[in-house]
Structure 1
Amino acid sequence: MELPDMRQVLSLVLLAQLWTLPLPTTAAEITDLTVSQTSTPSYLVLDGTIEAVKAATVSAQTSGRIVKLNFDVNDLVPAGASLLEITSKEQGAELAAAEASYARAKALDVEAQQTLTRYQALFPQGAISKGAMDQAIANAKSTQQAASAALAQVTKARENLKYTVVAAPYAGVMTERHVEQGETVTIGQPLLSGYATDKMRVVMQVPQQYRQALVEAGSVQVTLADGREFSVNNAQIFGFSDRQSHAYKVRLPLPDNTPALLPGSWVKARFVVSQRPQLHIPTSALYSVNELTGVYLKVDDRYVLQQIRIGENSHDQVEVLAGLQNGDVIASNAYQVLLQRSGK
């Protein structure tokens, strides 16, 4: 038994596909399309994470026992709000003692300054000896310095008392609590951690072979998990690479006060690394049946079905990976070619 010719099989397949399509009453004229090559940017896509620009851990600046905790993890804290309170009896007593010492030193200084003023008036008349005058001058300077030192102690004690109420340095979210109510803390001990919500950035690692491409690109497209996109033009590239990965750390500042940005979230960042030639044709020029994808290539005065391999489809345009060359002429609408061949 003879095997059927492949051209006959292809014709039968085309006719079968044609009968499955809704046919119009009249066939439009076939228009030609010249395939032209365009230069398309090639992107490098990297993973990045969101981090807060301002993130800090508040530590104790005085010692004492925690008597009150006003916020917990995940709470939104206003700027300047009281985070926690530490016992202040000892600090208050130190402030009272420092103020008393300053009052005494101030009184002695006033007396010494008044004595010096009287001696300065009597000394030209010879009523005060040179030694008494020198002693009055030295005593006035000494009491003045003592008053200044006592005032410094008052300032120090007052600040130490303020440290018993730990305030938020900026508005943000509390991420960690290192102490519990009733716990005794010492100077320098971590208390609370948090970050500011108004300024965020994306951090990513760029392989060293693409560092110069990033510099030349000038712009990085950042895509969040929810689909939002940002164009960052002021990428901050570190001047040194990681010792293990040999990649460069890059920071991408995001617009201030952008809502719903969570530190630690994954994002996609892409930038142009090269330009490559591409062929694009409209999707209307495609003919697809089963595993076959092709176009009608114009050869002399007739159209020949040419199998092609396609890539991404975007905005009714499809990329041709193989099967066509720059300058080829194809039918812009494969459907009209089928109509003419069917005799309609």
Structure 2
Amino acid sequence: MQQLKLLTKMPKKKLYYGLASIVLGICIVSGMMWKGQSQPKPVEDDVALVQTAVISVAETAQDYAYSGEVRGRYESQLAFQVGGKIIKRNVDLGSTVNAGDALMEIDSKDIAQTVNANAAQVYSAQSQLKLAENNLKRYRQLYEQNAISQAQLDQYQSAYDAAVAAVQQTSAQYTQGANQLGYSTLYATSAGVISGINAETGQIVSAGQSVLTLVQDGEREIEINVPENRIEELRKAEQIQVTFWALPGVAADGKVREISPIADKISRTFKVRISLLNPPAEIKLGMTSTVTVVHPGNKQTASLPLSAIYQTGDTPNVWVVQNDTVTLRPIKVGRFEDNQVEVLEGLQNSDVVVTAGVHKLKEGQKVCTGGDNQ
């Protein structure tokens, strides 16, 4: 009570200053306590245990391998020149044929009737021609005797000329029909092997529709598909070697004969034909082959497991360890095989590269290479 009386007796100005000092002191003390409690404790950086490999750069020849198929140099798509129903097929897939062999036949009944009608028209036209010729002779004699006028003779001369033209027209129609009757049988244009059958007995085909594929005897080639970024390298290839899956130990040299100017609509690759310079006698159509293309000059390359690649967008990268710290480095890759990738650019000899857990790392992170090095 005495303290309260003392406060009431103090001047109001001093009382206000005193209360303000007390409040300020409380705020300062509270702020210091809050700062001490809210400040986070320092956290040590995570050190990742990684598996690494030491890069060994070697000089290798630049070569690429493509799978291919043995094909014939000349392949003909055979078709009937007239439409109709196939009534007979004389060959099977793989049959060997000679030039002039009958391969297929279509029903020629309608064509034969057309030929008969054309023959009748020829006979009729020839009869009209004979009549016009007799009339012309008769009226020419009358004209010489001044029994008819020149105008009347000209009429019979014109009728004779029309009859001659009618005979020529009907004869041409008859010849055309006879040719179509001959077209009802499909003949081999050259010696070779039937590599494709696109129509069967009982099927109705139109004129020009491909029904058989004939591979002509002679030169054999290898057909491969090459991506667009390798076309120029293929043109400059120093050596092309062809091996065959079914003929171990058999190889042949080749050269580029033809490169398609247009890419395939689906695969977006270009068809390339490789001519065989010394074709083995054992090769057969349709065999699987491997075409190895050797490019001029050597290159410095290294090999890494696929697990070492860290892809960012369209760029392949690897984590390189330097002073126990990882750094992301872009690289240029080559071919892939047996879970390994060929590195063409971006790495040097003795570089240490992370080969496992690459997706858990970040730039500048400390690592421990205590794992088994590859």
TM-score range, shorter chain: 0.5 to 0.7
1:102 CA drift (Å)? 0.7
Does the aligned pair in 1 maintain the 2:223–2:272 contact within 8 Å? yes
Counterpart residue number, 2:260: 238
Measure the CA separation in 1 of the matches of 2:238 and 2:160: 68
Gaps of 5+ in 1: 1-38, 279-321, 323-344
Q: How many pairs align?
A: 239
In the superposition, the TM-score normalised over structure 2's length comes to 0.52
Match of 1:63 among 57, 61, 84: 84
Question: Are 1:72 and 2:83 counterparts?
Answer: no
Q: Give me the CA root mean square deviation.
A: 3.8
1:134-182 CA distance string (max 9 Å, x none): 32232123212211221122112212322333323333333436323xx
Question: Are 1:155 and 2:180 counterparts?
Answer: no
Does the aligned pair in 2 maintain the 1:112–1:140 contact within 8 Å? yes
1:46 CA drift (Å)? 1.8
Question: Are 1:176 and 2:171 counterparts?
Answer: no
Counterpart residue number, 2:115: 95
Q: What is the one-letter code of the residue matched to 1:104? A: S
Does the aligned pair in 1 maintain the 2:89–2:105 contact within 8 Å? yes
Considering only CA atoms, is the larger Rg found in Structure 1 or Structure 2?
Answer: 2
Q: What is the one-letter code of the residue matched to 2:199? A: H
Measure the CA separation in 2 of the matches of 1:93 and 1:155: 14
Measure the CA separation in 1 of the matches of 2:214 and 2:157: 56
Question: Are 1:247 and 2:269 counterparts?
Answer: yes
Measure the CA separation in 1 of the matches of 2:285 and 2:92: 18
> Does the residue aligned with 1:241 lie in a helix, a strand or coil?
coil
Q: What is the one-letter code of the residue matched to 1:273? A: H
1:248 CA drift (Å)? 2.7
Measure the CA separation in 2 of the matches of 1:164 and 1:45: 47
1:108-146 CA distance string (max 9 Å, x none): 224434655666677577554232233223212321221
Query: Which has the larger displacement, 46-55 or 223-232?
Result: 223-232
Measure the CA separation in 2 of the matches of 1:244 and 1:214: 21
1:230-255 CA distance string (max 9 Å, x none): 43345212223345554332112347
Identity of aligned residues (%): 24
Alignment of 1:1-344 (within 5 A): 42-52=62-72, 53-59=74-80, 61-64=82-85, 66=87, 68-113=88-133, 115-116=135-136, 126-174=146-194, 175-176=196-197, 178-180=199-201, 183=202, 185=204, 187-188=206-207, 192-198=211-217, 199-217=219-237, 220-225=240-245, 226=247, 227-243=249-265, 245-254=267-276, 259-276=281-298
Measure the CA separation in 1 of the matches of 2:97 and 2:208: 21
1:97 CA drift (Å)? 2.9
1:88 CA drift (Å)? 4.0
Measure the CA separation in 2 of the matches of 1:132 and 1:143: 17
Measure the CA separation in 1 of the matches of 2:139 and 2:277: 69
Q: What is the one-letter code of the residue matched to 1:185? A: I
Q: What is the one-letter code of the residue matched to 1:272? A: V
Gaps of 5+ in 2: 1-58, 301-348, 350-374
- Give the direction of change, closer, same or farther, for the CA distance of 1:170–1:146 in structure 2 (3 Å limit): same
> Does the residue aligned with 2:190 lie in a helix, a strand or coil?
coil
Does the aligned pair in 2 maintain the 1:51–1:203 contact within 8 Å? yes
1:200-229 CA distance string (max 9 Å, x none): 322112232322222223763333332444
In the superposition, the TM-score normalised over structure 1's length comes to 0.56
